[in-house]
């Protein structure tokens, strides 16, 4: 939010996977490859615009906030609002490194962003993000490694295999030590992904490869079922 209005950016897919047992989801990634249907995209972007205007008017909030939600059979339902930088906003810096988005947020929040026009900021960020898609998945592992490994992968049906030296990789998977033990992260090559599609199935396939090839111990996970 700026002094003159609310800049609403593009929806971000949060990869929430389903373990084979238990009643908890696994947060396992985020990306901007996915595009919701136009009616759903309007609902997702309409919510922060309405809430942002209320927050500006009632408490004078400035800077970044995000709304998480679920896209179910009946449409988009918000689940929480976070007045801070969320993981899903990482794409802004990747799409527009020259914007210095973190610094811009601090300037606006401090009340010094009088010349920042919300409508212009929205247009610049959305156009750049639509043109530079990105996405990654991750999970804690059931084991740890003493050092980081790097694996170039090629998508193969509903799985992955190591890429040869001559092949362009669809994804780059890293495994290694993390703050909570072992950690696995996969980053997808933008040129090899289809804009518009969810990355959840690709995350599942990459983590399954890590379990089979690296004995990562992530466990069986499944993507959400498309209901819209």
- pLDDT tens sequence across 4-60: 999 999 999 999 999 988 888 999 999 999 999 999 999 999 999 999 999 999 998
CA distances from 102 to 19, 63, 68, 86 (A): 35, 10, 20, 12
pLDDT for the residue numbered 103: 92
Lowest-confidence segment of 33-42, 79-88, 116-125, 168-177 by average pLDDT? 79-88
- Whether this prediction's pTM lies above 0.85 is answered by yes
pLDDT for the residue numbered 90: 86
Residue 96, both tokens = 């527009």
CA distance 93 to 72: 29
Domain ranges of the chain: 13-131, 135-219
Q: What is the mean pLDDT of residues 79-83?
A: 92
Confidence of residue 133 (pLDDT cuts 50, 70, 90): very high
CA dihedral 38, 40, 45, 47 (to 10 degrees): 150
- Sign of the dihedral through C-alpha 29, 190, 122, 75: negative
**Cα 193 versus chain centre, distance:** 15
């Amino acid at each position: 939010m700026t002094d003159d209005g609310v800049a609403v950016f593009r929806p971000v897919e949060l990869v929430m996977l389903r373990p084979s047992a238990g009643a908890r989801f696994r947060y396992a990634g985020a990306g901007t490859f996915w595009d919701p249907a136009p009616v759903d995209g309007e609902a997702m972007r309409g919510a922060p615009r309405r809430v942002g205007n209320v927050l500006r008017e009632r408490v004078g909030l400035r800077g970044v906030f995000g709304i998480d939600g679920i896209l179910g059979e009946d449409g988009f339902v918000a689940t929480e609002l976070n007045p801070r930088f969320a993981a899903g906003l990482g794409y802004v810096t990747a799409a527009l490194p020259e914007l210095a988005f973190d610094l811009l947020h601090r300037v606006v929040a401090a009340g010094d962003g009088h010349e920042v026009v919300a409508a212009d900021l929205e247009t610049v960020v959305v156009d750049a993000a639509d043109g530079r898609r990105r996405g990654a998945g991750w999970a804690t592992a059931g084991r740890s490694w003493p050092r980081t490994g790097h694996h170039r992968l090629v998508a193969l049906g509903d799985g992955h295999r190591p890429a040869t030296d001559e092949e362009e990789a669809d994804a780059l998977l890293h495994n290694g030590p993390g703050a909570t033990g072992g950690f696995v992260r996969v980053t997808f090559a933008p040129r090899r992904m289809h804009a518009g599609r969810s990355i959840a199935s690709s995350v599942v396939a990459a983590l399954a490869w890590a379990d089979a090839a690296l004995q990562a111990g992530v466990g069986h996970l499944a993507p959400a079922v498309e209901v819209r």
